[in-house]
Amino acid sequence: MSFLLILFISCFFCLGKATDCGGNNVTQTIIVGKQEDAAFSTIQEAIDSVENDNDKWIKIHIQAGLYIERVTIPKEKPCIILEGEGSSTTTISYSDHISMNHSATFTSLPSNVIASGITFKNSYNVVTKRYKYYPVGSEIEPANAARLHGDKYFFYNCSFLGYQDTLYDQYGRHYFKDCYIEGEVDFIYGSGQSYYENCRINVLGRFSDSAGFVTAQGRSSSDDPDGFVFEGGFLGGNGKVNLGRAWQPYSRVIFHKTYFSSIVTPHGWSAWHYAGNESGITYVEVDCGGPGADTSNRVSWMKKLNTSEIEQFSLASFINKDGWVDNLPIESS
């Protein structure tokens, strides 16, 4: 089954065409897997085979299966597409928690990277049952399923599985569409400028006596363009969870038309280390629904935006002013 990137973006949003990677044509396909037509048995071997400073789209098709390996796309290898055969059948998994920048199952450093139909999993903290007590200091550590440090990334129908710090959305413009993200503690975090469309966010909820945090966004200056925008989608799971806490003083997270289950705490947000200095923090909920969307008891400093201000956080305005999303490789079959 071959597929990639079915985008339903009207021409109204086409503000220009990016020319990175030679347009929207795929010039080569490399197959990874255990079947006879596979050129490589590991994903890393396929990535390593791509020439440095590549400037044309190269697809690495990953056959269904479990790949237990740490995968890195180095900075000198842009324009790579990782295409799985579905997030339920194609999984990259590893177990590590050494450090924030060196423990990720999947690390991507160059610009122009696309992934579809893949599950990225860090199995270090992942268990199958809920615990009443879990010794956080000795058992649970930050363990990234993915670390993303490059501009112009698109993830379609991918899953990110972990517990603490699952998705390190570190830097650059990133577009996540129809993805699944799982965790409990700061499991979507970083300083990325990212748009999450129709994504399902699942909270694991191991602890009955404390609430987790979906986001820990790290905008450090009022001039920085970054932030996390969630458009549509669903937030559910077990236990209780806050929508976010401020990793940096200008942390910015917007939920628009997202469905919240009852697991969301009444106050919703935390200033964390910036209590008393909340004026720079931008946390917003607009037209959200569900039993967890009642904002009557939210923190008093949560921002309210008018219609024109909300438009600044649309896909076109927030991450696609140069039209890079519109010029991605598209296959309809």
Provide the residue-wise pLDDT of the chain in tens; the chain has 333 residues: 444 444 433 333 343 344 489 889 999 999 999 999 999 999 999 999 999 999 999 999 999 999 999 999 999 999 999 999 999 999 999 998 776 667 899 999 999 999 999 999 999 877 544 444 434 334 678 899 999 999 999 999 999 999 999 999 999 999 999 999 999 999 999 999 999 999 999 999 877 778 999 999 999 999 999 999 999 999 999 989 999 999 999 999 999 999 999 999 999 999 999 999 999 999 999 999 999 999 999 999 999 998 889 999 999 999 999 999 999 996 533
DSSP state of 211: -
pLDDT for the residue 26: 96
Distance CA 300, CA 219 (A): 21
Annotated domain spans of the chain: 21-127+140-183, 192-198+206-327
**Which residues are tagged catalytic?**
165, 186
Distance CA 3, CA 63 (A): 12
Distance CA 257, CA 130 (A): 30
Provide the b/e sequence for 316-329 (b: ≥16 CB within 10 Å). Answer: bebbbebbbbbbbb
pLDDT for the residue 99: 66
pLDDT for the residue 330: 66
| Residue carrying structure tokens 């220009």 | 16
Do 21-127+140-183 and 192-198+206-327 share a fold? yes
Written as six digits, the tokens of 138 are 């000795």
| Residue carrying structure tokens 């071997």 | 45
Distance CA 104, CA 123 (A): 11
pLDDT for the residue 209: 77
DSSP state of 190: E
Provide the b/e sequence for 233-247 (b: ≥16 CB within 10 Å). Answer: bbbbbbbbbbbbbbb
Q: What is the CATH number of domain 192-198+206-327?
A: 2.160.20.10
- Which residues sit opposite 59 in a β-bridge? 29, 81
Written as six digits, the tokens of 142 are 């930050």
pLDDT for the residue 309: 92
Distance CA 33, CA 82 (A): 13
Q: Which CATH number fits domain 21-127+140-183: 3.40.1350.10, 3.30.530.20, 2.160.20.10, 3.30.750.24?
A: 2.160.20.10
